[in-house]
Amino acid sequence: MNTILKLNKKVLITYLVIALTGMEISFLKAQQISESKQAKVNISTSSAFKNTEKIRAGVLDVGYAELGPKTGKPVILLHGWPYDIHSFEKSSEILAGKGYHVLIPYLRGYGTTTFVSPQTARNAQQSAVAVDIIAFMDALKIDKAIVGGFDWGARTADIMAALWPERVSALVAVSGYLIGSPKANENPLPPNAELLWWYQFYFASERGYKGYKMNTKAFNKLIWKTASPKWTFDDGTYEQSASAFDNPDHVEIVIHNYRWRLGLASGEKQYDELEAQLAKSPNITVPTVTLEGDANGAAFPLPENYASKYTGKYVHHTLTGGIGHNLPQEAPKEFADAIIEANSLSK
């Protein structure tokens, strides 16, 4: 009897060891599979941004990153100056993981986007940039998309929603309504507001043109620091985006944009009608979410001053925690959430 009991105890202990070992192996395998899947997602995202696609769209060959299933709802994300598509690297990964088809183009003068013809004017007036993105949608046969952006990208998204609402199913605009005109910019601002636009006045001079051309990357790194004073980014993060400023048209595009805003450089005649519409500050009717950071060091309008420009379903969020001008990169989850929220408003 005792012998049998001892044997049964030994057998029981053996079974327990085998079971626990099996559980440990299964857990490790599950963990390895999970880590492998996550690594594949990260590699896929990194690859999409490093090895951009390219497509002929209007006057440009547009370079762009693409993530998510092609059958998913299209989302187009637009960067500003002095930034690039990497501002959306993490937020686009989140959106792609939720089934959205995310496209992030380089604007004219950035990254792998180039002009088809050397004869095309290196024009960066606001309507020209918006027409570029409509042409990009046409080239990809995208009828309608959620469009989001910040800085130049938010202005472009606003313009698309105002002039072509049938192409924009929902809008996310960091810093809200940014449509302007050279005429409106003739009005001086209070001194503290003018101070925030110091670089615009610098670019208005020949010295500014030469200085920006000579020191592009150092200049833009300074803007990163002043526009997002509480964001601690490392050199690697900056250099990843700074390579986009090597575009041969970058300096011309940036200088023209800021000079055009002040009426110091001409636009192109084919955009006159569009600019006339924009000069009237048209309302935006598509479902919209606007965002602002609590530590934006750049010039921006107060949300209460532009809320009435959005006449459709509308929500605003001010993010806390030291979020600056490059909001999509500083708060990628919150930016992705805003895209999802805007989509829900459109239903």
* Helix, coil or strand: residue 315: strand
Domain assignment present for residue 137? The answer is yes
Strand partners, 116: none
Q: In this structure, is residue 246 part of a structural domain?
A: yes
Asked if residue 44 is part of any domain, the answer here is no
Residue 144 has pLDDT above 70, yes or no: yes
For 193, the token pair is 């507001």
Closest CA to 229 of 294, 296, 285: 296
pLDDT higher than 60, residue 149: yes
pLDDT of residue 45: 77
Which residues form the domain of 290?
Answer: 52-345
Band the pLDDT of 47: cuts 50, 70, 90.
confident
DSSP 308: G
CATH number of the domain within which 73 lies: 3.40.50.1820
Q: What pLDDT digit, counting tens, does each position of 229-239 carry?
A: 999 999 999 99
Three-class SS of residue 64?
strand
Query: Quick one: pLDDT band at residue 110, thresholds 50, 70, 90?
Result: very high
* Residue 20 pLDDT > 70: no
Q: What does the pLDDT read at residue 48?
A: 81
Distance between CA atoms of residues 187 and 68, nearest Å: 44
Q: Is residue 43 part of a domain?
A: no
> What pLDDT band is residue 97 in, cutting at 50, 70 and 90?
very high
* Structural domain contains residue 229: yes
Q: How far apart are CA 244 and CA 113, in angstroms?
A: 9
Phi-psi domain of 236 (left: phi exceeds 0; alpha: psi -120 through 50; beta: other) = alpha
Residue 2 has pLDDT above 80, yes or no: no
Query: In total, how many domains does the chain have?
Result: 1
- According to DSSP, the β-strands at 145-149 and 168-174 are parallel
Q: Residue 15 pLDDT more than 80?
A: no
Residue 80 has pLDDT above 50, yes or no: yes
Residue with tokens 């637009």: 78
pLDDT of residue 43: 46
In the predicted structure, residue 27 carries a pLDDT above the cut 50: no
Does residue 109 lie in a domain region?
yes
pLDDT digits (tens, 9 = 90+) for 231-282: 999 999 999 999 999 999 999 999 999 999 999 999 999 999 999 999 999 9
Residue 286 has pLDDT above 60, yes or no: yes
What share of the chain in percent tops pLDDT 70?
87
Please, which residues have CB within 8 angstroms of residue 123's CB and are 6 or more apart in sequence? 256, 260, 267, 268
- Across the chain, mean pLDDT equals 90
Among candidate residues 232, 262, 220, the one with its CA nearest the CA of residue 323:
232
| Residue given tokens 């996310």 in the structure block | 172
Residue 101 lies in a domain: yes
Answer yes or no: is 82 within a domain: yes
pLDDT over threshold 80, residue 153: yes
Q: Find, among 166, 181, 201, 175, the residue nearest to 303 by Cα.
A: 175
**Considering only CA atoms, which of 45, 299, 31 is closest in space to residue 191?**
299
Return the pLDDT at 72: 98
Among 199, 200, 219, 214, CA closest to 259: 200
Model pLDDT for residues 206-227, shown as the tens digit of each residue: 999 999 999 999 999 999 999 9
Task: Answer yes or no: are the C-beta atoms of 333 and 94 closer than 8 Å.
Answer: yes
Q: Tell how strand 101-105 and strand 60-67 pair up.
A: antiparallel
CB 318, CB 144: distance < 8 Å: no
Q: What is the mean pLDDT of residues 319-325?
A: 98
* Mean pLDDT of the region 128-133: 98
Q: Check pLDDT > 50 for residue 42.
A: no
Q: Mean pLDDT across the stretch 145-164?
A: 98
Q: In this structure, what token pair is assigned to residue 304? A: 């209460």
The answer to whether residue 32 scores a pLDDT higher than 50 is no
